[in-house]
Structure 1
Protein backbone atom coordinates (compact mmCIF):
# COMPACT_ATOMS: atom_id res chain seq x y z
CA UNK A 1 0.00 0.00 0.00
CA UNK A 2 1.35 3.43 -0.97
CA UNK A 3 2.01 5.97 1.74
CA UNK A 4 -0.51 8.77 2.00
CA UNK A 5 0.86 12.10 0.81
CA UNK A 6 1.19 14.31 3.87
CA UNK A 7 2.52 17.59 2.51
CA UNK A 8 0.66 19.06 -0.44
CA UNK A 9 1.83 21.65 -2.99
CA UNK A 10 -0.48 24.29 -1.52
CA UNK A 11 1.02 23.85 1.95
CA UNK A 12 4.55 24.13 0.54
CA UNK A 13 3.67 27.23 -1.46
CA UNK A 14 1.92 28.85 1.51
CA UNK A 15 4.92 28.27 3.77
CA UNK A 16 7.38 29.49 1.10
CA UNK A 17 5.26 32.63 0.59
CA UNK A 18 5.16 33.18 4.36
CA UNK A 19 8.96 32.86 4.49
CA UNK A 20 9.33 35.46 1.71
CA UNK A 21 7.08 37.87 3.58
CA UNK A 22 9.15 37.46 6.72
CA UNK A 23 12.70 37.13 5.44
CA UNK A 24 12.70 37.69 1.68
CA UNK A 25 13.16 35.27 -1.19
CA UNK A 26 16.75 34.47 -0.29
CA UNK A 27 15.45 32.77 2.83
CA UNK A 28 13.86 29.98 0.82
CA UNK A 29 16.02 26.90 0.60
CA UNK A 30 14.76 23.35 0.39
CA UNK A 31 16.23 22.50 3.81
CA UNK A 32 14.82 25.56 5.58
CA UNK A 33 11.44 25.06 3.99
CA UNK A 34 11.42 21.38 4.91
CA UNK A 35 12.31 22.28 8.49
CA UNK A 36 9.45 24.78 8.62
CA UNK A 37 7.07 22.16 7.24
CA UNK A 38 8.46 19.43 9.52
CA UNK A 39 9.20 17.11 6.63
CA UNK A 40 12.06 16.03 4.40
CA UNK A 41 12.93 17.89 1.20
CA UNK A 42 11.37 15.09 -0.85
CA UNK A 43 7.80 16.50 -0.91
CA UNK A 44 9.12 19.87 -2.07
CA UNK A 45 10.94 18.37 -5.04
CA UNK A 46 8.12 15.92 -5.70
CA UNK A 47 5.56 18.74 -5.93
CA UNK A 48 7.65 21.42 -7.64
CA UNK A 49 10.53 19.59 -9.32
CA UNK A 50 13.07 22.23 -8.37
CA UNK A 51 13.52 25.25 -6.14
CA UNK A 52 13.36 27.44 -9.25
CA UNK A 53 9.89 26.12 -10.01
CA UNK A 54 8.83 26.76 -6.43
CA UNK A 55 10.23 30.30 -6.55
CA UNK A 56 8.35 30.90 -9.81
CA UNK A 57 5.17 29.76 -8.08
CA UNK A 58 5.90 32.23 -5.28
CA UNK A 59 6.40 34.93 -7.95
CA UNK A 60 2.99 34.12 -9.42
CA UNK A 61 1.49 34.46 -5.94
CA UNK A 62 3.31 37.80 -5.49
CA UNK A 63 1.94 39.01 -8.82
CA UNK A 64 -1.56 38.04 -7.78
CA UNK A 65 -1.14 39.99 -4.53
CA UNK A 66 0.08 43.08 -6.35
CA UNK A 67 -2.80 42.85 -8.84
CA UNK A 68 -5.19 42.62 -5.90
CA UNK A 69 -3.74 45.77 -4.29
CA UNK A 70 -3.83 47.69 -7.56
CA UNK A 71 -7.35 46.59 -8.46
CA UNK A 72 -8.74 47.15 -4.96
CA UNK A 73 -7.35 50.69 -4.71
CA UNK A 74 -10.00 52.52 -6.71
CA UNK A 75 -9.96 55.78 -4.80
CA UNK A 76 -10.51 58.04 -7.81
CA UNK A 77 -11.56 57.87 -11.42
CA UNK A 78 -7.90 58.40 -12.37
CA UNK A 79 -6.34 54.99 -13.08
CA UNK A 80 -2.81 56.42 -12.77
CA UNK A 81 -3.48 57.59 -9.21
CA UNK A 82 -5.22 54.31 -8.38
CA UNK A 83 -2.30 52.33 -9.78
CA UNK A 84 0.12 54.40 -7.72
CA UNK A 85 -1.91 54.08 -4.53
CA UNK A 86 -2.08 50.31 -5.00
CA UNK A 87 1.71 50.16 -5.38
CA UNK A 88 2.15 52.28 -2.25
CA UNK A 89 -0.09 50.01 -0.21
CA UNK A 90 1.70 46.93 -1.54
CA UNK A 91 5.12 48.46 -0.73
CA UNK A 92 4.13 49.31 2.84
CA UNK A 93 1.84 46.41 3.76
CA UNK A 94 3.98 43.67 2.18
CA UNK A 95 7.48 45.20 2.40
CA UNK A 96 9.49 41.97 1.99
CA UNK A 97 7.54 40.94 -1.06
CA UNK A 98 7.88 44.41 -2.57
CA UNK A 99 11.63 44.26 -1.96
CA UNK A 100 11.89 40.81 -3.53
CA UNK A 101 10.06 42.01 -6.64
CA UNK A 102 11.30 45.56 -7.13
CA UNK A 103 14.43 46.23 -5.12
CA UNK A 104 16.39 42.99 -4.76
CA UNK A 105 15.22 41.80 -8.18
CA UNK A 106 14.99 38.17 -7.02
CA UNK A 107 12.67 37.16 -9.82
CA UNK A 108 14.73 38.57 -12.68
CA UNK A 109 14.65 41.87 -14.47
CA UNK A 110 12.85 40.63 -17.57
CA UNK A 111 10.04 38.91 -15.67
CA UNK A 112 9.48 41.91 -13.42
CA UNK A 113 9.58 44.45 -16.27
CA UNK A 114 7.20 42.39 -18.37
CA UNK A 115 4.74 41.98 -15.51
CA UNK A 116 4.79 45.67 -14.52
CA UNK A 117 4.40 46.72 -18.14
CA UNK A 118 1.36 44.46 -18.55
CA UNK A 119 -0.17 45.78 -15.34
CA UNK A 120 0.33 49.43 -16.35
CA UNK A 121 -0.92 48.84 -19.89
CA UNK A 122 -4.06 47.19 -18.56
CA UNK A 123 -4.67 50.01 -16.08
CA UNK A 124 -4.18 52.72 -18.71
CA UNK A 125 -5.89 51.05 -21.65
CA UNK A 126 -9.06 53.14 -21.34
CA UNK A 127 -7.52 56.23 -19.76
CA UNK A 128 -9.05 59.09 -21.76
CA UNK A 129 -6.24 61.70 -21.43
CA UNK A 130 -3.81 59.28 -23.13
CA UNK A 131 -6.05 58.07 -25.93
CA UNK A 132 -5.52 61.02 -28.28
CA UNK A 133 -1.81 61.44 -27.65
CA UNK A 134 0.82 60.23 -30.11
CA UNK A 135 2.66 57.00 -29.29
CA UNK A 136 5.89 58.80 -28.30
CA UNK A 137 3.96 61.00 -25.87
CA UNK A 138 2.16 58.01 -24.32
CA UNK A 139 5.51 56.30 -23.86
CA UNK A 140 7.02 59.39 -22.17
CA UNK A 141 4.08 59.65 -19.80
CA UNK A 142 4.22 55.93 -19.05
CA UNK A 143 7.94 56.02 -18.24
CA UNK A 144 7.68 59.17 -16.11
CA UNK A 145 4.70 57.91 -14.13
CA UNK A 146 6.40 54.56 -13.62
CA UNK A 147 9.51 56.25 -12.24
CA UNK A 148 7.44 58.44 -9.92
CA UNK A 149 5.31 55.57 -8.62
CA UNK A 150 8.27 53.23 -8.16
CA UNK A 151 10.34 55.97 -6.54
CA UNK A 152 7.72 56.93 -3.97
CA UNK A 153 6.88 53.28 -3.25
CA UNK A 154 10.55 52.42 -2.73
CA UNK A 155 11.13 55.42 -0.47
CA UNK A 156 8.12 54.37 1.62
CA UNK A 157 9.19 50.73 1.61
CA UNK A 158 12.68 51.54 2.87
CA UNK A 159 11.34 54.07 5.40
CA UNK A 160 13.39 56.86 3.86
CA UNK A 161 10.21 58.96 3.86
CA UNK A 162 7.15 58.77 6.03
CA UNK A 163 3.89 59.90 4.46
CA UNK A 164 0.27 59.31 5.38
CA UNK A 165 -2.03 57.80 2.80
CA UNK A 166 -3.59 61.23 2.20
CA UNK A 167 -0.13 62.76 1.68
CA UNK A 168 0.78 60.02 -0.79
CA UNK A 169 -2.50 60.58 -2.62
CA UNK A 170 -1.89 64.34 -2.87
CA UNK A 171 1.72 63.87 -3.98
CA UNK A 172 0.79 61.30 -6.63
CA UNK A 173 -2.04 63.45 -7.92
CA UNK A 174 0.26 66.49 -8.32
CA UNK A 175 3.16 64.57 -9.85
CA UNK A 176 1.04 62.58 -12.28
CA UNK A 177 -0.81 65.72 -13.37
CA UNK A 178 2.57 67.29 -14.16
CA UNK A 179 3.51 64.24 -16.23
CA UNK A 180 0.36 64.60 -18.32
CA UNK A 181 0.99 68.30 -18.81
CA UNK A 182 4.72 67.84 -19.51
CA UNK A 183 6.57 68.92 -22.58
CA UNK A 184 5.39 67.02 -25.63
CA UNK A 185 7.88 64.68 -27.24
CA UNK A 186 9.09 65.94 -30.61
CA UNK A 187 10.66 63.66 -33.17
Structure 2
Protein backbone atom coordinates (compact mmCIF):
# COMPACT_ATOMS: atom_id res chain seq x y z
CA UNK A 1 0.00 0.00 0.00
CA UNK A 2 1.57 3.36 -1.04
CA UNK A 3 2.44 5.76 1.74
CA UNK A 4 0.09 8.68 2.22
CA UNK A 5 1.43 11.97 0.97
CA UNK A 6 2.47 14.22 3.86
CA UNK A 7 0.93 17.69 3.73
CA UNK A 8 2.80 20.72 5.04
CA UNK A 9 1.61 24.21 5.90
CA UNK A 10 3.41 25.58 2.82
CA UNK A 11 1.46 23.14 0.61
CA UNK A 12 -1.83 24.35 2.05
CA UNK A 13 -0.95 28.02 1.53
CA UNK A 14 0.28 27.48 -2.04
CA UNK A 15 -2.77 25.44 -2.95
CA UNK A 16 -5.06 28.06 -1.38
CA UNK A 17 -3.31 30.81 -3.32
CA UNK A 18 -3.79 28.90 -6.58
CA UNK A 19 -7.50 28.45 -5.86
CA UNK A 20 -7.84 32.17 -5.18
CA UNK A 21 -6.06 32.91 -8.46
CA UNK A 22 -8.62 30.78 -10.27
CA UNK A 23 -11.85 31.36 -8.32
CA UNK A 24 -11.26 34.26 -5.95
CA UNK A 25 -11.54 34.10 -2.15
CA UNK A 26 -15.17 32.93 -2.35
CA UNK A 27 -13.96 29.83 -4.18
CA UNK A 28 -11.69 28.75 -1.34
CA UNK A 29 -13.22 26.06 0.86
CA UNK A 30 -12.10 22.83 2.55
CA UNK A 31 -13.46 20.54 -0.16
CA UNK A 32 -11.77 22.36 -3.03
CA UNK A 33 -8.56 22.71 -1.05
CA UNK A 34 -8.44 18.97 -0.29
CA UNK A 35 -9.07 18.20 -3.97
CA UNK A 36 -6.27 20.57 -5.02
CA UNK A 37 -3.90 18.90 -2.55
CA UNK A 38 -5.00 15.39 -3.49
CA UNK A 39 -5.90 14.41 0.07
CA UNK A 40 -8.80 14.33 2.49
CA UNK A 41 -9.61 17.30 4.72
CA UNK A 42 -8.11 15.49 7.74
CA UNK A 43 -4.44 16.47 7.20
CA UNK A 44 -5.50 20.04 6.46
CA UNK A 45 -7.29 20.42 9.76
CA UNK A 46 -4.52 18.59 11.59
CA UNK A 47 -2.36 21.64 10.75
CA UNK A 48 -5.06 24.33 10.83
CA UNK A 49 -8.02 24.51 13.20
CA UNK A 50 -10.32 26.26 10.72
CA UNK A 51 -10.66 27.73 7.22
CA UNK A 52 -10.57 31.19 8.76
CA UNK A 53 -7.05 30.52 10.02
CA UNK A 54 -6.03 29.33 6.56
CA UNK A 55 -7.48 32.46 4.99
CA UNK A 56 -5.56 34.67 7.42
CA UNK A 57 -2.27 33.05 6.40
CA UNK A 58 -3.06 33.04 2.69
CA UNK A 59 -3.91 36.76 2.86
CA UNK A 60 -0.40 37.35 4.22
CA UNK A 61 0.96 35.41 1.22
CA UNK A 62 -1.24 37.45 -1.13
CA UNK A 63 0.27 40.62 0.33
CA UNK A 64 3.80 39.28 -0.29
CA UNK A 65 2.97 38.41 -3.91
CA UNK A 66 1.63 41.93 -4.44
CA UNK A 67 4.51 43.67 -2.67
CA UNK A 68 7.14 41.76 -4.67
CA UNK A 69 5.36 42.57 -7.92
CA UNK A 70 5.20 46.28 -7.10
CA UNK A 71 8.94 46.65 -6.48
CA UNK A 72 10.03 44.93 -9.69
CA UNK A 73 12.10 47.36 -11.77
CA UNK A 74 13.83 47.63 -15.14
CA UNK A 75 16.33 50.07 -13.66
CA UNK A 76 19.33 49.89 -11.37
CA UNK A 77 17.12 51.13 -8.53
CA UNK A 78 13.33 51.21 -8.04
CA UNK A 79 11.63 53.94 -10.07
CA UNK A 80 8.26 55.31 -8.98
CA UNK A 81 6.79 55.06 -12.48
CA UNK A 82 7.63 51.34 -12.41
CA UNK A 83 5.27 50.93 -9.47
CA UNK A 84 2.39 52.36 -11.48
CA UNK A 85 3.21 50.13 -14.44
CA UNK A 86 3.53 47.11 -12.14
CA UNK A 87 0.16 47.91 -10.55
CA UNK A 88 -1.58 47.88 -13.93
CA UNK A 89 0.31 44.76 -15.00
CA UNK A 90 -0.74 43.07 -11.75
CA UNK A 91 -4.40 43.79 -12.55
CA UNK A 92 -3.84 42.14 -15.93
CA UNK A 93 -1.87 39.11 -14.73
CA UNK A 94 -3.46 38.49 -11.31
CA UNK A 95 -7.07 39.65 -11.74
CA UNK A 96 -8.57 37.71 -8.81
CA UNK A 97 -5.84 38.75 -6.39
CA UNK A 98 -6.16 42.35 -7.56
CA UNK A 99 -9.93 42.23 -6.99
CA UNK A 100 -9.36 40.75 -3.53
CA UNK A 101 -6.94 43.52 -2.57
CA UNK A 102 -8.66 46.53 -4.12
CA UNK A 103 -12.24 45.62 -5.03
CA UNK A 104 -13.47 43.64 -2.02
CA UNK A 105 -14.28 43.94 1.69
CA UNK A 106 -10.68 43.00 2.48
CA UNK A 107 -9.13 46.46 2.74
CA UNK A 108 -5.94 46.02 4.75
CA UNK A 109 -3.73 45.56 1.70
CA UNK A 110 -5.31 48.48 -0.13
CA UNK A 111 -5.03 50.83 2.85
CA UNK A 112 -1.43 49.76 3.44
CA UNK A 113 -0.58 50.52 -0.19
CA UNK A 114 -2.42 53.85 -0.33
CA UNK A 115 -1.17 55.10 3.04
CA UNK A 116 2.44 53.93 2.45
CA UNK A 117 2.47 52.01 5.73
CA UNK A 118 3.54 48.49 6.69
CA UNK A 119 4.98 46.56 3.79
CA UNK A 120 4.43 49.53 1.46
CA UNK A 121 7.17 51.57 3.16
CA UNK A 122 9.64 50.82 0.30
CA UNK A 123 7.25 52.70 -2.00
CA UNK A 124 7.51 55.74 0.27
CA UNK A 125 11.30 55.41 0.24
CA UNK A 126 11.21 55.35 -3.56
CA UNK A 127 9.07 58.50 -3.73
CA UNK A 128 11.22 60.26 -1.15
CA UNK A 129 14.50 59.43 -2.92
CA UNK A 130 13.19 60.57 -6.30
CA UNK A 131 11.42 63.72 -5.14
CA UNK A 132 12.69 64.70 -1.70
CA UNK A 133 9.10 64.96 -0.46
CA UNK A 134 8.32 64.61 3.24
CA UNK A 135 6.28 61.61 4.43
CA UNK A 136 3.11 63.70 4.61
CA UNK A 137 3.55 65.22 1.15
CA UNK A 138 4.66 61.89 -0.34
CA UNK A 139 1.46 60.27 0.92
CA UNK A 140 -0.64 62.99 -0.75
CA UNK A 141 1.38 62.65 -3.95
CA UNK A 142 1.01 58.88 -3.96
CA UNK A 143 -2.75 59.00 -3.30
CA UNK A 144 -3.32 61.33 -6.26
CA UNK A 145 -1.14 59.17 -8.50
CA UNK A 146 -2.88 56.02 -7.28
CA UNK A 147 -6.33 57.43 -8.13
CA UNK A 148 -5.13 57.89 -11.71
CA UNK A 149 -3.31 54.55 -11.98
CA UNK A 150 -6.14 52.64 -10.31
CA UNK A 151 -8.52 54.00 -12.92
CA UNK A 152 -6.36 52.63 -15.74
CA UNK A 153 -5.89 49.32 -13.91
CA UNK A 154 -9.64 48.80 -13.54
CA UNK A 155 -10.28 49.70 -17.18
CA UNK A 156 -7.73 47.05 -18.13
CA UNK A 157 -9.03 44.55 -15.55
CA UNK A 158 -12.57 44.76 -16.91
CA UNK A 159 -11.46 44.77 -20.55
CA UNK A 160 -13.02 48.21 -20.99
CA UNK A 161 -9.89 49.52 -22.71
CA UNK A 162 -6.93 47.80 -24.31
CA UNK A 163 -3.78 49.85 -23.86
CA UNK A 164 -0.40 48.87 -25.27
CA UNK A 165 2.62 48.92 -22.96
CA UNK A 166 3.89 52.03 -24.74
CA UNK A 167 0.55 53.79 -24.26
CA UNK A 168 0.55 52.93 -20.55
CA UNK A 169 4.14 54.18 -20.20
CA UNK A 170 3.23 57.46 -21.88
CA UNK A 171 0.11 57.95 -19.76
CA UNK A 172 2.08 57.36 -16.55
CA UNK A 173 4.98 59.54 -17.64
CA UNK A 174 2.73 62.48 -18.53
CA UNK A 175 0.77 62.22 -15.28
CA UNK A 176 3.93 61.89 -13.18
CA UNK A 177 5.59 64.89 -14.84
CA UNK A 178 2.40 66.96 -14.38
CA UNK A 179 2.29 66.12 -10.68
CA UNK A 180 6.00 66.79 -10.17
CA UNK A 181 5.61 70.14 -11.98
CA UNK A 182 2.77 71.08 -9.64
CA UNK A 183 4.90 70.24 -6.59
CA UNK A 184 7.82 72.25 -8.05
CA UNK A 185 5.49 75.26 -8.35
CA UNK A 186 4.44 74.74 -4.74
CA UNK A 187 8.08 74.61 -3.63
CA UNK A 188 7.90 71.03 -2.40
CA UNK A 189 10.17 69.55 -5.10
CA UNK A 190 13.38 71.01 -6.56
CA UNK A 191 13.47 71.89 -10.27
CA UNK A 192 16.39 69.48 -10.78
CA UNK A 193 14.07 66.56 -10.03
CA UNK A 194 11.77 67.58 -12.87
CA UNK A 195 14.73 67.88 -15.27
CA UNK A 196 15.97 64.43 -14.27
CA UNK A 197 12.55 62.95 -14.98
CA UNK A 198 12.33 64.65 -18.37
CA UNK A 199 15.84 63.56 -19.32
CA UNK A 200 15.36 60.01 -17.95
CA UNK A 201 18.63 60.14 -15.99
CA UNK A 202 18.20 56.65 -14.57
CA UNK A 203 20.27 53.71 -15.72
CA UNK A 204 18.49 50.60 -16.95
CA UNK A 205 19.55 47.23 -15.57
CA UNK A 206 22.06 45.32 -17.63
CA UNK A 207 20.35 42.11 -18.74
CA UNK A 208 22.51 39.01 -18.29
TM-score (norm 1): 0.81
Instruction: Provide the residue aligned with 2:161 in structure 1.
Output: 161
Kindly report structure 1 stretches of 4+ aligned residues shifted beyond 4 Å: 75-78, 133-136
TM-score by length of 2: 0.74
Q: For 2:172 and 2:77, how far apart are their aligned partners in 1?
A: 14
Gaps of 5+ in 2: 188-208
2:96 and 2:73 mapped to 1: Cα distance? 20
Which one of the candidate residues 102, 110, 113 is aligned to 2:111? 113
What runs of 5+ residues in structure 1 fail to find an aligned partner?
none
Q: Identify if the C-alpha distance between structure 1 residues 61 and 110 changes in structure 2 by more than 3 Å, giving closer, same or farther.
A: closer
User: RMSD of the alignment, in Å?
Assistant: 2.7
Looking at structure 1, the residues matched to 17 and 130 of structure 2 have their Cα atoms a distance apart, in angstroms, of 38
Distance in structure 2 (CA, Å) of the matches to 1:137 and 1:8: 45
> Pairwise mapping of residues 87-166 of structure 1 onto structure 2 (< 5 A)?
87-105=87-105, 108-116=106-114, 117-118=116-117, 119-126=119-126, 127-128=128-129, 130-131=131-132, 133=133, 137-166=137-166
* Structure 1 residues 101 and 147: CA distance shift in structure 2, 3 A: same
Q: Secondary structure at the match of 2:151?
A: helix
In structure 2, C-alpha distance between the alignment counterparts of 1:24 and 1:110, rounded to whole Å: 17
Q: 1:174 to 1:13 in 2, by over 3 A?
A: same
How many residues of Structure 1 are paired with residues of Structure 2 in the alignment?
A: 180
